[in-house]
Amino acid sequence: MIDFALQKTLHTAEGEMPFDVSAHIRKGQFVSLYGVSGAGKTSVLRMLAGLMKPDHGYVRVDGQLWYNGVENYQLPIQQRSIGFVFQDYALFPNMNVQENIAFALRRNESREIVEELLELTGLKNLANRKIQTLSGGQQQRVALARAIAKKPVLLLLDEPLSAVDSGMRAQLQETLLQVHKRFRLTTILVSHNADEIIRLSDVVIYLEGGKFRQQTTPAAFFLSGRETSGITGKVVSTEADGSVLVQVEGGMLRLPSPGETLFVNDKVDVSCNVNTYHLKRL
Ligand SMILES: Nc1ncnc2c1ncn2[C@@H]1O[C@H](COP(=O)(O)OP(=O)(O)OP(=O)(O)O)[C@@H](O)[C@H]1O
């Protein structure tokens, strides 16, 4: 369980912005932070990581205090069990893929996890390649594998997929899903992409002006109560249990049986009321 309340005066181009957020995040949850540029999403990650000091509040992770504003106590960043992946991954150029992933491990720690991560992230055949010889998407996989290698209590992802093209983005989302399924790491992702958030997360937190305005399921947040969600896709297959596989921009959604009969290649609008999805042929 991750439990925090964070307050800080942020300095924006428009002047001071009081930042004041709090949340409880259950172990193993995948949470996305969504909001316009400057809302304070990255600040949440930086404060949880210990890279930015709040003015007040607390951060409690599995019962351990990482920050306590009352006593002005900050657990140093090296002592926080965190994996962090940014948009511009900082890998070691003089090391190969395998060495980059293993770097996070302690000297006497088993290397088994490195093998498993190479396999899981599709990097096995690139294990001995130097970092500069890899594509952006491949480097982002290495960054993800390295962040996960030490099995952190908290995985923080700051728009890790925004610098790659949509095909690579869909592949990386699939990798993230696999990794989350395998390790169930409590994960907080900053993303501007609705499809991506719907595909990956259990919970979305909407930020505006340094405050958490809404915390709900991605389906309820993005698709609820609207005649049309603006998210469209193409039916890829209809399954025996009545569910439908729909290709949307960011990847694939498996949705429950729609009211009307749909066929492969039908174009559909995806919307949702509370937690019930609706598919409408366009
Ligand atoms: N250390 C700091 N002290 C005070 N203000 C800061 C500090 N770091 C960032 N800010 C300000 O806080 C505001 C929110 O920044 P933040 O990067 O958290 O927003 P964001 O929602 O992640 O934006 P984007 O989507 O563009 O990355 C910005 O106006 C920024 O200038």
Same domain, 110 and 239: no
In sequence order, what are the residues at sequence separation of 6 or more whose Cβ sits closer than 8 angstroms to the Cβ of residue 32?
188, 189, 190, 191, 196, 197, 200, 201, 203, 204, 205, 218
- φ/ψ bin of 96: left (φ > 0), alpha (ψ from -120 to 50), beta (otherwise): beta
In a domain, 221, yes or no: no
| CA-closest residue to ligand 1 atom 1 | 52
Distance 203 CA to ligand 1 centre (A): 22
Is residue 223 in some structural domain?
no
Question: What CATH number has the domain bearing residue 268?
Answer: 2.40.50
Nearest CA to ligand 1 atom 2: 10
| ipTM of the shown complex | 0.96
Does a structural domain hold residue 165? yes
CATH, residue 167: 3.40.50.300
Does 245 contact ligand 1 (Cβ within 6 A)? no
Residues 3-27: tens digit of each pLDDT: 999 999 999 988 999 999 999 999 9
Same domain (yes/no): 86, 200: yes
The answer to whether residues 182 and 249 belong to one domain is no
59 within domain boundaries: yes
Same domain, 149 and 38: yes
Q: What does DSSP assign to residue 224?
A: B
Token digits of residue 270: 């995806």
pLDDT over 90 at 244, yes or no: no
Closest residue by CA, ligand 1 atom 25: 37
38 alpha carbon to ligand 1 midpoint, in Å?
Answer: 5
Least confident of 45-54, 102-111, 191-200, 250-259: 250-259
Pocket lining: 39 vs ligand 1, CB cutoff 6 Å: yes
Whether residue 251 sits in one domain with residue 183: no
Give the pairing type, strands 73-74 and 267-273: unpaired
Q: Reduce the DSSP state of residue 72 to 3 states and report it.
A: coil
225 occurs within a structural domain:
no
Say if ligand 1 is within 6 A of residue 42 CB: yes
Say yes or no: 164 and 252 in one domain. no
Ligand 1 centroid to 214 CA: how many Å? 19
* pLDDT confidence of residue 123: 92
Model pLDDT, residue 226: 52
Q: Are residues 170 and 242 in the same domain?
A: no
Structural domains counted in the chain: 2
Q: Is residue 128 part of a domain?
A: yes
Q: Where a domain ends, among 216, 251, 270?
A: 216
Could you identify the atom of ligand 1 that is nearest to the CA of residue 43? Answer: 18
165, 188, 216: which is the final residue of a domain? 216
Using a 6 Å cutoff on CB, does residue 209 contact ligand 1?
Answer: no
Q: Which residue range forms the structural domain that includes residue 260?
A: 232-281
Say whether both 33 and 121 belong to one domain. Answer: yes
In-domain check, residue 69: yes
208/256 same-domain check: no
Burial of 30 (0-12, 13-18, 19+ CB in 10 A): buried
Q: Are residues 155 and 112 in the same domain?
A: yes
Greater pLDDT, 173 or 163: 173
| CB of 54 sitting under 6 A from ligand 1 | no
193 and 251 assigned to the same domain: no
Q: How confident is the model at residue 224 (pLDDT cuts 50, 70, 90)?
A: low
Compute, in degrees rounded to 10, the torsion defined by CA atoms 75, 79, 81, 83: 100
Residue 278 has what pLDDT? 67
Residue with the nearest Cα to atom 16 of ligand 1?
40
CA distance 261 to 279: 10
124: in domain: yes
Q: Ligand 1 in contact with 163 (CB < 6 A)?
A: no
Domain boundary among 186, 216, 246: 216
Are residues 240 and 115 both part of a single domain?
A: no
